[in-house]
Amino acid sequence: MTNRISPAQAWQRLLSGNKRFVSGEALHPNQDGSRRSALVDSQSPFAVIFGCSDSRLAAEIIFDLGLGDAFVVRTAGHVIDDAVLGSLEYGVSVLNIPLIVVLGHDNCGAVTATKNAVETGEMPPGYIRDLVERITPSVLTSLRGDMTDVNDMVVEHVKQTTARLLESSQVISSAVEDSSTAVIGVAYRLEEGQAELVSESDML
């Protein structure tokens, strides 16, 4: 099923949902039995949301979405690996989704852990170390720019993740080049509940 809305329209739909969430006027759309039945044989989400796994960052809630609206991929610190790239490429090439949103948030535990590791030289154990190693370039870039606050590092990491998606995936970069898909970066503020665009595509 081909999605017919533009990347800009997809972002405006997310933005409208977030405004409803912030104002306490969420509609909780597409969450009834008829919607479930309509989605049994196919899906046509209008956005891919690649976000942090943090329990406070539930994409369908903060953007006031329902079943079938968003194709959601989550890892701690929105760290990219092969499974993530494959999932995002599926969203773009098979589901024809017009918008990929990289979603970070303030007070991110993964970015905080990376900041601590860079400052102390002490790496965390196990596979948490792998997360930290992948986030380290964003933290180092922030520090080189005299941005020492973890929330500034979060924004930098969102920007670097959006760039890395385009560098890593020919499928995604080609979709952006032919204007069928846009990739944007968004930072979410936990207390306010607001999602802010921090890395903008030319198509929005």
Predicted TM-score (pTM) above 0.75: yes
Percent of the chain beyond pLDDT 90?
A: 96
Supply φ then ψ for residue 71, to 5 degrees. -100, 110
Q: How far apart are the first and last CA of the chain?
A: 23
Structure confidence by residue, pLDDT tens digits, 69-112: 999 999 999 999 999 999 999 999 999 999 999 999 999 999 99
| 140-159 average pLDDT score | 97
Does some domain include residue 203?
no
Q: Is residue 71 part of a domain?
A: yes
pLDDT tens, position by position, 157-201 = 999 999 999 999 999 999 999 999 999 999 999 999 999 999 987
In a domain, 2, yes or no: no
If you average pLDDT over residues 42-65, what whole number do you get?
97
Do the domain assignments include residue 122?
Answer: yes
Could you list the residue range(s) of the whole structural domain that residue 116 is in? 7-198
Task: List, as one string, the DSSP characters of 44-80.
Answer: --SEEEEEE--TT--HHHHTT--TTTEEEEEEGGG--
Alpha-carbon span 124 to 113, nearest angstrom: 8
Say which residue the tokens 């948490």 belong to: 128
- Mean pLDDT, all residues of the chain: 95
Cα–Cα distance, 91 to 97 (Å, whole number): 6
CATH number at residue 73: 3.40.1050.10
Number of domains the chain is built from: 1
pLDDT digits (tens, 9 = 90+) for 15-46: 999 999 999 999 999 999 999 999 999 999 99
CB 44 within 8 A of CB 3: yes
The whole-number pLDDT of residue 200 equals 85
Q: Residue 126: helix, strand or coil by DSSP?
A: coil
Residue 1 domain-assigned (yes or no)? no
- HEC string of 88-114 equals HHHHHHCCCCCEEEEEEECCCHHHHHH
